[in-house]
């Protein structure tokens, strides 16, 4: 059943993606994308009003890799753990090469000596590409409901 | 039952003559903060409240803040912009809940009192009572005068598309408030061209509101905390720069000019651990800068307008950043990025790409919010003590103009004004 196949692929893919970030394997994060894969984090306020501004808008593995370098080396920040809680993906369309799917996410942030808090609540709006090595992200748009950002967003969502 | 009287903490003595040593209690003392709200935010100071481009059509409104107080900006039928406090004159409900929209009038849902966009009270249901079976049920007293029950109106000033408001109608004209030192920098960016809104960021920073002003008034940190600025020459201590203030020391402009092909080595990077030998980007499009004619020299101009506005032009990226105090120890930082109506698609994309440097995740901004939080944590821990003070003495102890960015002179300027105004 095609729907089940797409659902299964996207679910497994998102589980690996979340584990990569939650375990802090940030250097592997760009490899979840196609060479020209796009990653955006955008406030729902802007998304709904069709305003283009994004918190991050990275185009291609080069920019994704640069982001991780910055997180590791140049962007001074309070250390914290991340925990992704993802919903089952909603398969919008299975176009053979491309899967259009969405999934809700909660990202919980835990700083040293502090209680856990929700740092972002939103959804992924994805175009995933089927490749010989499995799915890769052609485009992932993280649209967050969270009206106020708790100070900063350092690690990818 | 005992009566509990809430005591406001006393303001300790500021035990030096200058403005280069700031006691930690200036960021935590509740009495100081309440005085700031009264004298600064609700006193005779212009607060930034929005851009005209956010209200293009009659009936457009936008909810925002002056100090902690909720206000509504609106474009009226005669195309003027007005600002009113978001408190119904009847029972005090904060009636406007949406952030923006288009309406014919304001309506309080509680008892359906209605107001014109300019805050005039238009309708009071059953003002003359309900006539039924030959009797009049209810009705406001005969001497109830609607004209005395408008929404609280703020004074509004608009300069080249930028909107300011003030609760105190005796405030000086905006041009005098900004002053001749600052206006040329303001008009350089806002010269009447139509702006295009690119979007907003809303960031909650757990720090006293003044810390944000100080952060931008302090170009000393930019080449140190922000590796990107140093590595890519976006602001550096060895560049041609100017740091000026208005006559009171409350506003400031920092202008700097990026020089082509600067060496990354030498005194500018010696001993600086944030300097990354050999750092390069895999994709340089985020720092692919295209010179714009109107820059007229400087490649970056940062303005701090007291009390609540930062204006940013860094390369092709531009934003206004509004400081909205929430309480003594935190504020919301609302960013509005914009371009110009004449921008082509390439320029818009450039502005959006460079926006990756700014905002809550930005390569040269995210860490500002982080370090402000670290400072406020310390201030809070010793809030009942005196003796701790922050030092702002880079480049001297006075607040005269500077020709370079290795300075904290504008912080000293702000506190010179603040101490006078606050009588502290």
CB contact under 8 A, B200 and A41: no
**Residue spans of alpha helices (H) in B260-365:** 345-354
pLDDT at B231 (0 to 100): 79
- What distance separates the 2 farthest-apart alpha carbons in chain A? 48
Is B360 touching A (CB cutoff 8 A)?
yes
Residues 6+ apart with CB under 8 A from B263: none
Distances (CA, A) of B308 to A152, B172, B323, B328: 20, 17, 5, 14
Which chain B residues have a beta carbon less than 8 Å from that of A55? 201, 359-361
pLDDT at B396 (0 to 100): 95
Q: How far apart are CA A36 and CA A63, in angstroms?
A: 10
pLDDT at B276 (0 to 100): 76
pTM to 2 decimal places: 0.95
pLDDT in tens, A85-133: 999 999 999 999 999 999 999 999 999 999 999 999 999 999 999 999 9
Distance between B362 CA and the closest CA of chain A, angstroms: 8
Which chain A residues have a beta carbon less than 8 Å from that of B206? 151
Q: Is B110 helix (H, G, I), strand (E, B) or coil?
A: coil
CB contact under 8 A, A54 and B199: yes
Q: Least CB-CB distance to A62: which of B283, B356, B363?
A: B283
Residues 6+ apart with CB under 8 A from B165: B46, B47, B49, B66, B71, B73, B83, B154, B155, B156, B157
CB contact under 8 A, A55 and B197: no
pLDDT at B417 (0 to 100): 98
Distances (CA, A) of B116 to A92, A130, B74, B127, B268: 45, 57, 10, 17, 58
Which chain B residues have a beta carbon less than 8 Å from that of A53? 198-201, 337, 352, 355
pLDDT at B1 (0 to 100): 46
A-side interface with B, Cβ within 8 Å? 41, 43, 45-46, 49, 51-63, 65-66, 69-70, 73-78, 147-154
Q: How far apart are CA A98 and CA A135, in angstroms?
A: 9
Query: Do the beta carbons of residue B313 and residue B339 sit within 8 Å?
Result: no
- List per-residue pLDDT tens for chain B, 424 residues long: 456 666 788 999 998 889 999 999 999 999 999 999 999 999 999 999 999 999 999 999 999 999 999 999 999 999 999 999 999 999 999 999 999 999 999 999 999 999 999 999 999 999 999 999 999 999 999 999 999 999 999 999 999 999 999 999 999 999 999 999 999 999 999 999 999 999 999 999 999 999 999 999 999 998 889 888 887 878 888 888 999 999 999 999 999 998 865 555 566 676 677 777 778 899 999 999 999 999 999 999 999 999 999 999 999 999 999 999 999 999 999 999 999 999 999 999 999 999 999 999 999 999 999 999 999 999 999 998 889 999 999 999 999 999 999 999 999 999 999 999 999 9
Q: What ipTM was assigned to the predicted interfaces of this complex?
A: 0.96
pLDDT at B373 (0 to 100): 97
pLDDT in tens, A49-79: 999 999 999 999 999 999 999 999 999 999 9
pLDDT at residue A145 is higher than 80 = yes
Q: Is A31 helix (H, G, I), strand (E, B) or coil?
A: helix
CB contact under 8 A, A62 and B198: no
What is the CA A113 to chain-centroid distance, rounded? 26
Residue B32 φ/ψ, nearest 5 degrees: -60, -45
Which chain A residues have a beta carbon less than 8 Å from that of B197? 51
């Amino acid at each position: 059943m095609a729907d089940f196949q797409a659902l299964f692929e996207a679910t497994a893919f998102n589980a690996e993606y979340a584990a990569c970030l939650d375990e802090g394997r940030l250097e592997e994060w760009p490899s979840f994308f196609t060479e020209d894969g796009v990653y955006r984090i955008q406030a729902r306020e802007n998304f709904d009003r069709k305003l283009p501004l994004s918190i991050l808008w990275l185009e291609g593995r080069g920019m994704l890799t640069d982001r991780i370098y910055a997180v590791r080396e140049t962007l001074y920040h309070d250390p914290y753990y991340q925990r992704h809680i993802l919903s089952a993906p909603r398969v919008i369309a299975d176009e053979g090469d491309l899967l259009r799917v969405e999934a809700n996410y909660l990202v919980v942030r835990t700083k040293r000596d502090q209680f856990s808090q929700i740092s972002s609540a939103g959804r992924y709006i994805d175009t995933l590409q089927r490749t010989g090595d499995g799915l890769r992200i052609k485009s992932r748009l993280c649209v967050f409901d969270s009206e106020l950002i708790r100070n900063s967003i350092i690690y990818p969502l | 039952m005992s009566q509990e009287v809430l005591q406001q903490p006393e303001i300790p003595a500021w035990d030096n003559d200058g403005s280069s040593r700031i006691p930690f209690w200036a960021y935590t003392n509740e009495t100081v903060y309440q005085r700031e709200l009264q004298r600064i935010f609700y006193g005779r100071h212009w607060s930034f409240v929005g851009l005209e481009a956010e209200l293009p059509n009659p009936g457009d409104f936008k909810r925002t803040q002056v100090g902690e107080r909720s206000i509504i900006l609106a474009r009226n039928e005669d195309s003027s912009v007005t600002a009113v406090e978001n408190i119904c004159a009847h029972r005090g409900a904060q009636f406007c809940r949406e952030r923006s929209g288009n309406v014919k009038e304001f309506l309080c849902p509680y008892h359906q009192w209605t107001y014109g966009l300019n805050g005039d009270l238009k309708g009071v249901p059953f003002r003359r009572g309900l006539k039924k079976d030959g009797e009049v049920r209810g009705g406001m007293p005969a001497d109830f005068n609607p004209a005395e029950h408008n929404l609280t109106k703020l004074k509004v000033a608009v300069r080249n598309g930028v909107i300011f408001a003030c609760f105190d109608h005796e405030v000086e004209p905006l041009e005098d408030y900004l002053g001749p030192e600052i206006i040329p920098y303001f008009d350089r960016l806002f010269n009447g061209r139509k702006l295009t809104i690119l979007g907003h960021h809303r960031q909650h920073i757990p720090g006293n509101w003044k810390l944000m002003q100080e952060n931008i008034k302090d170009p000393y940190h930019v080449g140190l905390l922000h590796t990107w600025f140093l590595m890519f020459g976006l602001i550096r201590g060895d560049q041609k720069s100017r740091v000026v203030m208005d006559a009171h020391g409350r506003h400031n402009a920092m202008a700097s000019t990026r020089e082509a092909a600067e060496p990354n080595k030498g005194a500018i990077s010696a001993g600086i651990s944030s300097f990354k030998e050999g750092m390069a980007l895999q994709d340089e499009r985020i720092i692919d800068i295209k010179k714009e004619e109107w820059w007229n020299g400087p490649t970056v101009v940062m303005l701090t307008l007291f009390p609540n506005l930062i204006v940013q032009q860094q390369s092709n990226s531009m934003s206004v950043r509004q400081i909205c105090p929430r309480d003594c120890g935190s504020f919301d930082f609302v960013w509005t990025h914009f371009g110009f109506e004449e921008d082509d698609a390439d320029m818009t994309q450039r502005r959006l790409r460079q926006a990756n440097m700014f905002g809550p995740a930005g390569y040269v901004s995210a860490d500002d919010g982080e370090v402000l939080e670290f400072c406020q944590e310390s201030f809070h821990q010793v809030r009942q003590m005196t003796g701790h003070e922050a030092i702002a003495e880079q480049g001297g102890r006075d607040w005269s103009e500077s020709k370079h960015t290795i300075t904290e002179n504008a912080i000293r300027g702000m506190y010179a004004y603040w101490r006078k105004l606050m009588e502290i």
